[in-house]
């Protein structure tokens, strides 16, 4: 075979084994098509999420007493137009906790259209009177509201009331003591006096003076007072004074009343 024929054969071999041409246009068309489809699917999903099926048709509110159901829903910013799917339960809980009456709040969703709101309210336990206005304090010392009428709660004397939604170191122990008392005992307490050294004493509606001493062991002192008042009622005794500085060993002065 001549050298020319060999050369021609080599050329033919190289030509038949050449790498196919890369066509970038087809690749970009595929990418673009996939992107468009993704956008279409995302738009469809968004449209479905805004469907009336996710509106809050079933709203349950539990735990309210001082507040009303409409007030709780207004604080939560929830209505039957609320989209349950997109609702942030954490955000709703934060809104509710901004109100001083609400101590705890739990919000949950039940897709597609259910919302459950559970709150725990603070309990009014004492007041500070300022002219014709009563500042109502909760059992944790937080100021709940300014009332135009007497709430018939023990009145705190010797300390100024803070603003609504705030606490004071001077009034919190007295309010806490008011919260530790049961309803029957609280009804027998007229006023709680805060001394300059932060110690406490109180006066009952019958005029008895009760020394609490330093603001410690307040729950035990409240329980001891309740027991003494109950004993006095059952035994027709009039209490003159009680010393609850040591709640495990209370000292009381009483006058017996005729049983007839």
**With 60 as the cut, is the pLDDT of residue 148 above it?**
yes
Residue 53 confidence (pLDDT): 84
Q: Which residue, of 78, 105, 121, is where some domain finishes?
A: 121
Q: Residue 14: pLDDT band by 50, 70, 90 thresholds? A: very low
Q: Is residue 84 part of a domain?
A: yes
Alpha-helical (H) ranges within 128-217 are 172-180, 183-187
Residues 134 and 177 in one domain: yes
Q: How far apart are CA 71 and CA 95, in angstroms?
A: 12
How many domains in the chain? 2
62-103 confidence digits (pLDDT tens): 999 999 999 999 999 999 999 999 999 999 999 999 999 999
Give the residue numbers spanning the domain of 224: 124-256
Of the pLDDT bands very low, low, confident and very high (cuts 50, 70, 90), residue 30 is: low
- For residue 123, name the pLDDT band (cuts at 50, 70, 90): very high
pLDDT tens by residue, 197-236: 999 999 999 999 999 999 999 999 999 999 999 999 999 9
| 215 in the same domain as 103 | no
Q: For 134-163, what is the mean pLDDT?
A: 96
| Residue 23 within any structural domain of the chain | no
What mean pLDDT comes out for the span 23-33? 58
Using DSSP, state whether 129 is helix, strand or coil: strand
pTM for this prediction: 0.78
Residue 27 lies in a domain: no
Q: Which DSSP category does 217 fall into?
A: S
Higher-confidence residue: 190 or 27? 190
116 lies in the same domain as 133: no
Rounded CA separation 74/66 (Å): 15
CATH number at residue 149: 3.40.50.10960
Q: Kindly state whether residues 161 and 252 are assigned to the same domain.
A: yes
Strands 133-138, 124-130: pairing is: antiparallel
Tell me: do 171 and 236 sit in the same domain: yes
């Amino acid at each position: 075979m001549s050298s020319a024929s060999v050369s021609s054969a080599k050329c033919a071999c190289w030509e038949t084994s050449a790498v196919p041409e890369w066509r970038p246009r087809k690749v970009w068309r595929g990418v673009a098509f996939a992107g468009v489809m993704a956008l279409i699917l995302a738009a469809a999903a968004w449209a479905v999420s805004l469907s009336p099926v996710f509106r809050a048709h079933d709203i349950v509110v539990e735990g309210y007493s001082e507040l009303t159901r409409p007030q709780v829903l207004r604080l939560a910013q929830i209505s039957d137009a609320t989209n349950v799917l997109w609702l942030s339960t954490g955000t709703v809980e934060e809104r509710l906790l901004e109100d001083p009456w609400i101590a705890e709040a739990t919000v949950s969703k039940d897709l597609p259209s259910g919302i459950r709101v559970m709150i725990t309210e603070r309990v009014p336990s004492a007041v500070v009177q300022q002219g014709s206005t009563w500042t109502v304090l909760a059992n944790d010392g937080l100021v709940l509201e300014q009332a135009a009428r007497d709430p018939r709660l023990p009145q705190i004397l010797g300390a100024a009331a803070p603003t609504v939604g705030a606490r004071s170191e001077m009034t919190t122990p007295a309010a806490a003591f008011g919260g530790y008392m049961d309803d029957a005992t609280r009804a027998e307490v007229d006023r709680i006096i805060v001394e300059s050294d932060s110690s406490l004493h109180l006066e009952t509606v019958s005029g008895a003076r009760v020394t609490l001493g330093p603001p410690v062991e307040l729950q035990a002192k409240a329980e001891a007072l309740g027991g003494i008042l109950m004993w006095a009622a059952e035994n027709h005794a009039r209490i003159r004074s009680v010393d609850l500085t040591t709640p495990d060993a209370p000292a009381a002065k009483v006058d017996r009343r005729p049983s007839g």
